[in-house]
Amino acid sequence: MAPEHHPGTGAGRIVLILLAGLFLVAFLLVPLAVVFSEAFAKGGAAYLDALGQPDARAAIGLTLLVAAIAVPLNTVFGLVAAWCIAKFEFPGKSLLTTVIDLPFSVSPVISGMVYVLMFGLQGYFGPFLAAHGIKIVFALPGLILATVFVTFPFVARQLIPLMQQQGTGEEEAAIVLGASGWQVFRRVTLPNIRWGLLYGVLLCNARAMGEFGAVSVVSGHIRGLTDTMPLYIEALYNGYDAVGAFTVASLLAMLALVTLVLKAFLEMNYRDDLTLAAAQVSRH
């Protein structure tokens, strides 16, 4: 019972906690504080002025638009993919599971390059698209494609283990009771995964709004037209407009904080529905 023999007590524990805290402050909290202090370096009026710039408004609008299209798409894709993988057996299933992770393992820059190679003027479909007057690269469709690709895994990764753990018992019960496919999904499957789904959507959204690499390649950096917030921030910073850059950056930082708070709230209140413990209820 001697406390110094217990792994969780004593001086070592205090040192470890201090180290972790120090790390957190130095690498996360201080930079976050710097973002806001730089943004307000010239006062509130300059802050509002920076946000009032037409290019800034365009960048914010574009980011919201891209996320508003990419996130619902990936929510549907993620649901379908997770449903297939968790509830059915089919050849190539493990391959599909691996492919879903591809956007996580590939550098976002390469994801962007792929779209330029395919749809750019020199790309495979470039001449065809040009002949029909369709612009994908250096335009909104390219930004959406790149964002969808990069944020694809978030919803699916969150749902697959949850749905696998829950099994197919409740769905089968619903089918025998006469529910149609849609009723099974809406009344049984969806309620069982709702908090996990929300969690995945939250992370997906944060990434969709913050994505830089892939979007940078396909954007073409036409200010006011194809610059999303992260790209606009970089352009301002490179133009020595620190207040403008950090002002827009502060919006992204706030998005991150809101995401974090919601995430913590979900984890605190619906831990059972988010983690693998969910199925224990049904097994008793």
Partner 1 sequence: MGVDIAGMSKRFGRAEILSGIELSIARGEFVALLGPSGSGKTTLLRIIAGLEAASAGSLRIDDRDALSLPPRERKIGFVFQNYALFRHLRVFDNVAFGLQVKKRAERPPREVIARRVAELLELVQLGGLGQRFPSQLSGGQRQRVALARALAVDPELLLLDEPFGALDAGVRVALRQWLRGLHDSLGLTSIFVTHDQEEALALADRIALLNRGRIEQVGTPADLYDHPGTAFVMGFLGAVNRLDCAVSGGGVRLAGDTQPLDAQQISGPLPANGPAIALVRPHDLRLLGPAERGGSRVLLRSIAVVGARLRLILEKSGHTIEAEADRDRVDASWLHPGSQLRIEFSRVRIFATDGSAGEAIAPSESDQARPLSRHPARAALR
Place of tokens 């605190």: 268
Q: Is residue 178 close enough to count as binding partner 1 by CB under 8 A?
A: yes
Using CB under 8 A, which of 37, 183, 269, 275 touches partner 1?
183
Instruction: Tally Cβ neighbours within 10 Å of residue 133.
Output: 6
Q: Considering the rule CB under 8 A, would residue 276 count as an interface residue with partner 1? A: no
| Joined tokens for residue 263 | 């995430």
By CB under 8 A, name the one of 176, 238, 240, 268 that touches partner 1.
176
Which CA distances in Å does 162 have to 95, 134, 248? 19, 41, 36
**Closest to 143 (Cα-Cα) out of 63, 60, 235:** 63
Binding mask 192-231 for partner 1 (x = CB under 8 A): x---------------------------------------
Tokens of 206: 């944060």
Q: What is the DSSP letter of 275?
A: S
Residue indicated by tokens 């906690």: 17
Contact segment (CB under 8 A) with partner 1 among 142-150, 164-172, 212-220, 236-244 equals 164-172
Among 49, 55, 170, 234, binds partner 1 (CB under 8 A): 170
Q: Tell me which of 117, 140, 179, 225 binds partner 1, using CB under 8 A.
A: 179
Q: By CB under 8 A, tell whether 173 contacts partner 1.
A: yes
Tell me the three state secondary structure of residue 2. coil
Residue 11 CB-half CA count within 13 A: 0
Identify which range of 7-15, 144-152, 166-174, 224-232 contacts partner 1 by CB under 8 A: 166-174
In the complex, which residues of this chain contact partner 1 (CB under 8 A)? 169-170, 172-180, 183, 187-188, 191-192, 281-284
